[in-house]
Amino acid sequence: MTGPLRGVKVVEMAGLAPAPFGCMILADLGAEVLRVDRGGAPAPGLTPPDGPLDRGKHTIALNVKDPVDRETLYALIEQADVFVEGYRPGVAERLGIGPEDLAARNPRLIYGRMTGWGQDGPLAPRAGHDINYIAISGALDLVGRAGERPVPPGNILGDFAGGGMLLALGVISALYERAQSGKGEVVDAAMVDGSALLTAFMHGMHNVGLWNAPRGENPLDSGAAFYDTYECADGKHVAVGCVEPQFYAQLLTILDIDDPELPSQLDPTGWPRLKEILGAKFKERPRDEWSLLFADSDACVSPVLSPWEAHEHPHNQARNAFIEIDGLRQPAPAPRFTRSPTTTPTGLSKDPEQTRNLLSTWGVPAEAISRITS
């Protein structure tokens, strides 16, 4: 692998969604990621199939409750730059792989902790999922139509944007600081914190009176006619985001709307009427016809594509925004770099020989490598 994190060694304890996503980002950026699967008897619960979140990684299985396997993990930690776990607070300590345990083996280690509620606070020991974390952070209340219930936006805001992405940012920041201090540290990445952070702009808008209406009645949450989605003749949709007056004027021109009695763009009392007018217009043609009509304009109108058809859009094709790994189409690594470009990731490697070669370059003792890959 190449990329700005080339040479960074990461040990990831296998888990669900946010931590694997954060480590996928590190692998995409060139880090060498070794995923440690749980050895011994399988635990109850959901075990996701290997897929995009595991790309660019190697994998081994260790039962850290077993003293021999735990010593093997310690041998890995002594050579690693980063360790990532997604256990509830206190679990890693009980397993003998908490921050103090591993710092004793490697004082320069960056220890990444990915949780929903964080390492402290009254909810820290409780179970939860994305929807719970974004509920108390304020993010969930922002998503939904006027007069309707909040709508969970998949598990994007908590698990990925406010979770794994925050973890990756924290790890990279800690690596930068270590380059100055020479010391490791613990990164406490919590989805409740990260999803709250994503609402910073809305807090600013609220403070100046621009986001005070109920959900679905504000300028950027489907309240405004110029910032919403509209159904087309084929039942598909377009997204309209012409906030600026000059872009809104282009929208009206392409839609052939020339009505001197048209409500003002920025008058909230006229938004329902404007939505009726725009909605009727967009239902006159199918989505892809509208996409062609607006393609060369600044009217800020785009087709609403499913994740499974997004790769077909000409812009995504031109930027190679989607790639195939082992026959599975998925988003390409991002962002992009000029001097240290990333390479196309490979699928999860379970090849013992590749793992032996990797650990040998890490400097892991031969006897530990033999135990890991036997």
Provide the annotated active-site residues.
129, 159
Q: Pairing mode, if any, of strands 301-303 and 237-241?
A: antiparallel
Joined tokens for residue 7: 């040479």
Burial of 67 (0-12, 13-18, 19+ CB in 10 A): exposed
Q: Are 87 and 13 in contact (CB under 8 A)?
A: yes
Phi, psi for 3 (deg, rounded to 5): 135, 170
Q: How far, CA to CA in Å, does 157 sit from each of 28, 145, 299?
A: 21, 18, 28
Distance CA 309, CA 319 (A): 15
Q: Identify the CA nearest to 368 among candidates 65, 62, 82.
A: 62
Residue 14's contacts (CB-CB under 8 Å, 6 or more residues apart) are 20, 35, 36, 37, 38, 59
Q: Identify the CA nearest to 362 among candidates 88, 116, 75, 1.
A: 75
**Number of H-type helices and E-type strands within the chain:** 14, 11
